[in-house]
Homo-oligomer: A and B are copies of this chain.
Amino acid sequence: MKFSILRDQLLNGLNDVMKAVSSKTTIPILTGIKIDAAEDGIRLTGSDADITIQTFIPVEKDGEQLISITTTGSIVLQARMFNEIVRKLPTNEVEIEVSDQYQTRIQSGKSDFHLIGLEPNEYPMLPEVSEETQITIPGDLLRSVIRETVFAVSTSESRPVLTGVNWQVKEEGLVCVATDSHRLARRIVALENLPTNVESVVIPGKSLTELSKILSDASSPVNIYMTNQQVLFKTEDVLFFSRLLEGNYPDTNRLIPDSYQTTVKINGKELLQAIDRASLLAREERNNVVRFSTLSGESIEISSNSPEIGKVEEEIHVQELSGEELRISFSAKYMMDALKSLDGQDVIIQFTGAMRPFIIRSIHDNSILQLILPVRTY
């Protein structure tokens, strides 16, 4: 194997595949990145066994020559070392050549590296995913969907299936739900041409977080292929594979109340900032719980009281307040997460009493629903 490549192009590709490489892996070959040089371009592959990312750098793009291939072939190089070397090379021209015993020479300007590579045949094959069951979604929309749901997955391994986001294909579109059993985030995406042969998969939250780092802000389409054990996200240059979580995802519909006793319309940004301040005093002594109370007139109060430190009261004028009086306590963090996912929009909050879950939605549309269980404090 011998080729020369523009350093920037190689770095871009490495940036993506490095997201799959974990320093904690117990499989030695996965500490490496696989490089495949073919006639049409270079493929880089990184994996931590759960996530596998492959990027493709073509020989030529938009009329510019990015790579010159002398001989094809494959090698596996230590990921972190190779990435750091490429990042620090002195010129934008890099030549990579593999000789006997996987000895790999990396040259740029007067810089001359010899790395000991690993046997490429030991590197695992890409997961097999049939190209039948396909969903197509713009990249920027997919990023939003991930951002609006993934924060609510469970971080505890006691119910592994809750560490993932449940994607269901339904009549109303793609329904994405995450819950850690204390709060829930649901996003419905109206998509056309949804497949009919898949109903429900659970994608690890960690995979979605890494995926969203690779997705650009552009609306270029991402094709999604699902089988029983794997999902593949395919963009123009990147293949992103993730293992799926096994087990039945709980039916969360019954959690969402269908009647309400108190309704508040409020500026989401003002509410977020008031809770942020109130949580300063709630953090140490009170497990980050703040109180929400309706006041007479068109306003509400956010408060927190820690006998050792002090107390805080925040009054906020609301756009609408209807139904019964209410005093309710909840996690400041959960509320802030929910409001952030709604991007500071004006929100409607619907309560069913101080001991029942309440929901938060944008006043503009119903595509995002956030649900929080209150905390009993008195």
Contacts and interface: CB of A to CB of B under 8 A. Distances in A.
Interface of A: 78, 81, 84-85, 88-90, 104, 110-116, 273-274, 276-277, 280-281, 308-316
B277 A116 contact: no
Contact of A310 (B115, B277, B309, B312): B115
A277 B87 CA distance: 9
Contacts of A280: 81, 84-85, 88
B112 A312 contact: yes
B312 A90 contact: no
A218 to B, nearest CB: 34
Contacts of A111: 274, 277, 312, 314
A115 B88 CA distance: 51
A94 to B, nearest CB: 13
A112 to B, nearest CB: 5
Contacts of A110: 314-316
Contact of A273 (B88, B308, B310, B316): B88
Contacts of A276: 88
A89 B277 CA distance: 7
Greatest chain B CB density within 10 A among A113, A114, A116, A315 is at A113
Contact of A313 (B85, B112, B312, B313): B112
25 contacts: A78-B309, A81-B280, A81-B281, A84-B280, A85-B277, A85-B280, A88-B276, A88-B277, A88-B280, A89-B277, A90-B273, A111-B274, A111-B277, A111-B312, A111-B314, A112-B313, A113-B310, A113-B311, A113-B312, A114-B310, A114-B311, A114-B312, A115-B309, A116-B308, A116-B310
B88 A309 contact: no
Contacts of A116: 308-310
